[in-house]
Amino acid sequence: MSKYKTSELLEWIYELNNSIHVCIKKIGLPECDSWFYDETAGEIRNTSRSFFQIKGIQKYEGGQAVVEQPVIIQDEIGYLGIICQRFNGEMHYLMQAKIEPGNINKIQLSPTIQATKSNFTQKHGGRKPAYLEYFVNAEKYKIIVDQIQSEQSSRFYKKRNRNIIIEIDEEIDVLPSHRWMTLRQIKELMRYDNLVNMDTRTVLSCLPVYENEYLNEITDDSFKRSVIGDGKNRFPEIYRYINNYKMFDESEYKIVALSELKSWKMQNNELVSEKPYSFKVVFCDIEIEGREVRHWTQPLFEASGIATFGLMTRIHNGAYEFLVRATPEIGCFDRIELGPTVQREYVHNRKLNEVDRLFDDKLKGKEGVVFDTLLSEEGGRFYHEQNRNVIMRISEKDLTKLPEGYFWVDYNTLNMLVQVNNCLNIQLRNLLSVLEW
């Protein structure tokens, strides 16, 4: 039995939202305190040379620049960690009600700890994050997940974080900012727009569902068959495609000074593209009660609109299969990862294929849609970014032939791949996390 009813968790978040002071104002770069444009390095950075930097990146094909944009460079690896514990035989997860400066709705449900290396080494003078010691000393506990996973490769350059879940069996002090909740409750709360944050979703997507402990909780027979797998080894086909791309793709990527981005300029206190683009860079003055640091300024990336991330599923031989696509991105750690069926920015220039058109037609008619929710992206770096996450069931007759780079896979394959660093991108991991068993 859950420690709290879901209604009680919602009331707790509602009360915190009404009681915590938050003030976020857009400003210009000159008013952004310790942030400035470094002419020598060609980047927007902090005076302490920590936190992160914003530089330019250009993609070249055949010697011509085909894409150019600002990109966040943050070489450090942070903690995204969840503590779990059994109560009355049921696993509970210690979740945090946390405000990030870019959150569209103030508080969102975050992992137990969500901290950059700069945070937990106190480079900015703030307090050490609560529960840090459990993850620093993780070897004392049962480690369920410990993976280095990618972040949004359309905005970050080769950024990764440590996704970690540990199970403890000792009594722990629960702060007013934290609550125990079950996995079913978290998945239920994911159906509320912008309530469960991106970091929680990526960590939970790494759970080894194929282990008996989780298999016993699955009530959907078709999903259970998908988790167990059919014995077919799909890895050679997937790895062959991905490794061929890594080996033979001749695109070049160059990190350059922001001043070298010919189509980008400062306008009305924002760094914007002269052409339609999926985001711009804004600057904010931030005051949040209860944070390790209560007042600061920083740049944030603001999306131009709502992107769409969609995952198509079908039942094949009595088991769910998921349609994924090998997706290259400009800031990807190793050029390409498996992404969802549809990964489309609000502003995009990719030509739509038969898979895209099928998805759009069914979404327009709400045919087969089992999940359709606005979920926020990372509020520590992105301003008010929310994207539409859709899971859609189709029949085998709907799609008989796949374009290059698409693969039907069972959950067993995806669950095995997520145990390996940098195989599934964050958009796909987020969609897998909302699946209900």
Q: How confident is the model at residue 119 (pLDDT cuts 50, 70, 90)?
A: low
Q: Is residue 120 scored above 90 in pLDDT?
A: no
* Residue 74 belongs to some domain of the structure: no
The predicted pLDDT at position 118 comes to 66
pTM here is 0.95
Q: How confident is the model at residue 292 (pLDDT cuts 50, 70, 90)?
A: low
- Spell out the SS3 assignment of the chain: CCCCCHHHHHHHHHHHHHHCCEEEEEECHHHCCCEEEECCCCEEEECCCCCCEEEEEEEEECCEEEEEEEEEECCCCEEEEEEEEEECCEEEEEEEEEECCCCCCCEEEECCEEECHHHHCCCCCCCCCCCHHHHHCHHHCEEEEEEEEECCCCCECCCEEEEEEEECCCCCCCCCCEEEEEHHHHHHHCCCCCCECHHHHHHHCCCCCCCHHHHCCCCCHHHHHHHHCCCCCCHHHHHHHHHHHHHHCCCEEEEECHHHCCCEEEECCEEEECCCCCEEEEEEEEEECCCCCCEEEEEEEEECCCCEEEEEEEEECCEEEEEEEEEECCCCCCCEEEECCEEECCCCCCCCCHHHHHHHHHHHCCCCEEEEEEEECCCCCEECCEEEEEEEECCCCCCCCCCCCEEEEEHHHHHHHCCCCCCECHHHHHHHHCCCC
CATH of the domain at 372: 3.90.79.40
* Residue 393 belongs to some domain of the structure: yes
* Residue 271 belongs to some domain of the structure: no
What is the rounded average pLDDT of the residues 388-409? 97
The predicted pLDDT at position 289 comes to 80
Instruction: Report the chain's mean pLDDT, rounded to a whole number.
Output: 94
Per-residue pLDDT of 146-175, as tens digits, reads 999 999 999 999 999 999 999 999 999 999
* Residue 126 belongs to some domain of the structure: no
The predicted pLDDT at position 124 comes to 53
Per-residue pLDDT of 416-434, as tens digits, reads 999 998 999 999 999 999 9
The predicted pLDDT at position 125 comes to 56
Per the structure, the complete domain to which residue 367 belongs is given by: 224-251+305-433
Per-residue pLDDT of 184-240, as tens digits, reads 999 999 999 999 999 999 999 999 999 988 998 899 999 999 999 999 999 999 999
Q: How confident is the model at residue 64 (pLDDT cuts 50, 70, 90)?
A: very high
What is the rounded average pLDDT of the residues 35-54? 93
* Residue 129 belongs to some domain of the structure: no
Q: How confident is the model at residue 96 (pLDDT cuts 50, 70, 90)?
A: very high
Q: Is residue 70 scored above 70 in pLDDT?
A: yes
* Residue 378 belongs to some domain of the structure: yes
* Residue 266 belongs to some domain of the structure: no
**Structural domains of the chain, count:** 1
* Residue 388 belongs to some domain of the structure: yes
